[in-house]
Amino acid sequence: MENIQNYINGQFTNPVSDDWIDNYNPASGEVYSQIPNSSKDDVENAYKSAKSAFKQWSQTTLEERSRIMLKISELIETNLDRLAEAESKDNGKPLWLAKAVDIPRASSNFRFFANAITQFASESHESVGQNAINYTLRQPIGVVGCISPWNLPLYLFTWKIAPAIAAGNCVVAKPSEVTPMTAYLLGEICNEAGLPKGVLNIVHGLGGSTGQAIVENPDIKAISFTGGTATGAHIARTAAPMFKKLSLELGGKNPNIIFADCDYDDMLTTTVRSSFANQGQICLCGSRIFVEDSIYEKFKTDFVDRVKHLKVGHPSNADTKVGALVSKPHLKKVMSYIDIAKDEGGTILCGGNRITIEGYEDGYYLQPTVIEVLSDECRVNQEEIFGPVVTIMSFSSEQEVLAMANKVDYGLSATLWTNDLKRTMRMSTQLQAGIIWVNTWLMRDLRTPFGGVKNSGVGREGGFEALRFFTEAKNVCIKY
């Protein structure tokens, strides 16, 4: 059994308490490694290491930071197979998906921010008539905390770390306790790339203790967090008295709105993907599908037919479209919503049951599930399920669907299928979400702002937004 270790000051270390947590393979339900149950002492050691590295790293030239980050990016690509296998084993996602998306995107996060930092310009303002010039410095914050979830483990972990270190900060980071493996391997890669000791420190452990210790450390001045809305609120409450800078990327319950004038085949194929990619465990999945009534019955038949043919299987099989859910408690939570849907009068159009895969009987597999709901206000239409479960219902007018789409606590993303330009402009303005896709889904350009409104979060990641978050603006006014 492989034990994972913390990565502090460039070295792999056991937790101070020698306390360990089992790490499960969701495809088989077996324990396959152990991870540190890190305490406050481990977080303190990680903090001290980051603090001692800060002076030198913050004064390292942009070219040199960029060179090291490009090397990390390159080494992630060199280790693609190994990292993808680790990601798939830890998370339950199909191996082909980890190879095609998760790991390449982790590599491009480092490449993108290695380049972005060299283009990150500060502003100057001439105070005309006052003989003065103002210029704004963008200075690194110091030691920052990065906390990430389990659904896109290395991808989201590096999405935070790359801009943080590009901007000259040193980092104490924690991946989710259920998917620690690729973060562990990243430590080796950083050493090989020549990242100075202490610039990145990774502590493994439980959210409520290890993660909490990062947030409670008064000298870690900024926290970049991606995870559930309830955890985000808890972090905000803990951090508020210390006036920490916070970036919170939280849950979603995203509408997928389909008008009759869309390109039907393209919409159908993409809607299957936006519903069930990564077992429906992407914060951006379109989990509430609204279809214009004139094509509703046709869509229902075609969609359910496609979903029934999605192959659920072991993540390492090349033809698997839907792998295992991340953990037993998560499977239980997702399945509880299927019971809730039935109680609320919903109709299960397909799926709804746990699946047993031969040879992996204890794995956490669930049939992709489509529920026709009676009302947009029912719980399965309002609460984040975060699994291979979507709801569908019809609408008759633009105003009606807009009201239903916005009538949730969340506001992360929305997808719109229509070829009517004026409608696109009207609805994009009025939909309450941070990200709108029109006639596509999950198309990402790393320069664009990423984040949600309402209970989906505070702040934006991506491009210069991320570099602004990880720096403090300081204005200098010189009279001449």
Task: Kindly list the residues in this chain that would bind ligand NDP in the complex (CB under 6 A).
Answer: 147-151, 156, 174, 176-178, 206-208, 211-212, 215, 226-228, 231, 234-235, 249-252, 283, 384, 386, 412, 452, 456-457
Helices (H), 194-280: 212-216, 229-239, 264-276
Closest CB to ligand NDP among residues 75, 408: 408
Cβ contact 21:37 at 8 Å? yes
Cβ contact 78:174 at 8 Å? no
Closest approach, Cβ 283 to ligand NDP, in A, equals 3
Closest CB to ligand NDP among residues 296, 337: 337
Cβ contact 44:187 at 8 Å? no
Q: Measured between alpha carbons, how far apart are the two ends of the chain, in Å?
A: 68
Closest approach, Cβ 246 to ligand NDP, in A, equals 12
285 is catalytic: no
Strand ranges of the sheet holding 11-13, from the earlier edge strand across to the other edge: 11-13, 6-8, 200-202, 170-174, 143-147, 222-226, 245-249, 457-458
Residue nearest to ligand NDP (CB): 207
Q: What residue type is assigned to position 137 of the chain?
A: L
472 is catalytic: no
Candidates 286, 245, 227; CA nearest to 457 is 227
Which residues 6+ apart lie within 8 Å of 77 measured at CB? 104, 107
Closest CB to ligand NDP among residues 87, 177: 177
Candidates 27, 22, 16, 17; CA nearest to 3 is 22
Closest approach, Cβ 470 to ligand NDP, in A, equals 16
Closest CB to ligand NDP among residues 88, 176: 176
Closest approach, Cβ 443 to ligand NDP, in A, equals 15
Closest CB to ligand NDP among residues 234, 354: 234
Q: Of 85, 87, 177, 249, which is the active-site residue?
A: 249
Closest CB to ligand NDP among residues 149, 313: 149
> Phi-psi bin for 280: left (phi > 0), alpha (psi -120 to 50), beta?
left
Helices (H), 317-444: 328-343, 379-382, 398-406, 421-430
Q: Of 190, 283, 285, 378, which is the active-site residue?
A: 283
Closest approach, Cβ 148 to ligand NDP, in A, equals 6
Strands 6-8 and 124-127: unpaired
Polymer length of the chain: 480
Closest approach, Cβ 252 to ligand NDP, in A, equals 5
Residues involved in catalysis: 249, 283
